[in-house]
């Protein structure tokens, strides 16, 4: 259950991060296409980030600088691929473009841009060194019944979102 709890915590944190950004930049409080206060791509991205960090720091015999450089490069590749795949998925399933980076100088298509990839890499360091230690303390204290309720609500939300947005 701890990995599921992490998914929900990071999905909710991602929802509030993006919704707050949208409120500041475009005066509306929203994130993603789901109805609940979660944006799954953030949960998936955070779990991938943590696993990559763990793998590099446990398996590499390099010094900390080299490990962090390896992590930085791996995260840029991984999170950029995740964002690209997420954009393609949403467009193909829901016929909607939720973000478009064509106005960025170093974009590749509409779903990825070097500027954004570098931002995600910086956020990954904040995640593993500042946010994860706090979440690690919280995730084990969440009762199983809360996790089960969240799973049920998430599945209901996923079905409703899928039905409502299929065109």
Q: Is residue 78 situated within a structural domain?
A: yes
Q: Is residue 84 situated within a structural domain?
A: yes
Quick one: average pLDDT of 142-163?
A: 95
pTM of the model: 0.90
Rounded CA gap, 10 and 113, in Å?
23
Tokens 């979102």 label which residue? Answer: 161
Q: Is residue 39 situated within a structural domain?
A: yes
Residue 84 CB coordination number (10 Å): 16
In which region does residue 108 sit, left (phi positive, over 0), alpha (psi from -120 to 50) or beta (all else)? beta
Q: Is residue 156 situated within a structural domain?
A: no
User: Residue 110: which domain range?
Assistant: 2-146
Q: Is residue 157 situated within a structural domain?
A: no
The C-alpha torsion from 165 through 35 and 38 to 21, rounded to 10°, is 90
Q: Is residue 132 situated within a structural domain?
A: yes
**Helix axes 144-165 and 2-26, enclosed angle (nearest 10):** 50
**Number of independent structural domains in the chain:** 1
- pLDDT score at 29: 84
The model's pLDDT over 29-67, given as tens digits with 9 standing for 90+, comes to 888 889 999 999 999 999 999 999 999 999 888 999 999
Q: Is residue 165 situated within a structural domain?
A: no
Quick one: average pLDDT of 81-109?
A: 91
Residue 167 has pLDDT above 70, yes or no: no
């Amino acid at each position: 259950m701890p990995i599921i709890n992490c998914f929900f915590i990071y999905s909710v944190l991602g929802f509030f991060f993006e919704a707050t950004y949208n409120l500041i930049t475009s005066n509306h409080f929203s994130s993603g296409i789901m109805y609940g206060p979660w944006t799954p791509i953030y949960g998936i991205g955070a779990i991938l980030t943590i696993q990559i960090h763990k793998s590099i720091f446990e398996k590499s015999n390099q010094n900390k600088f080299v490990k962090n450089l390896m992590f930085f490069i791996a995260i840029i590749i991984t999170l950029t691929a995740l964002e690209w795949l997420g954009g393609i998925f949403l467009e193909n399933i829901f016929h909607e473009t939720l973000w478009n980076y064509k106005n960025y100088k170093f974009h590749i298509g509409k779903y990825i841009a070097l500027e954004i990839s570098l931002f995600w890499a910086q956020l990954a360091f904040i995640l593993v060194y500042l946010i994860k230690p706090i979440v690690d303390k919280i995730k084990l204290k969440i009762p199983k019944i809360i996790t089960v309720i969240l799973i049920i609500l998430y599945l209901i939300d996923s079905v409703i979102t899928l039905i409502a947005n299929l065109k």
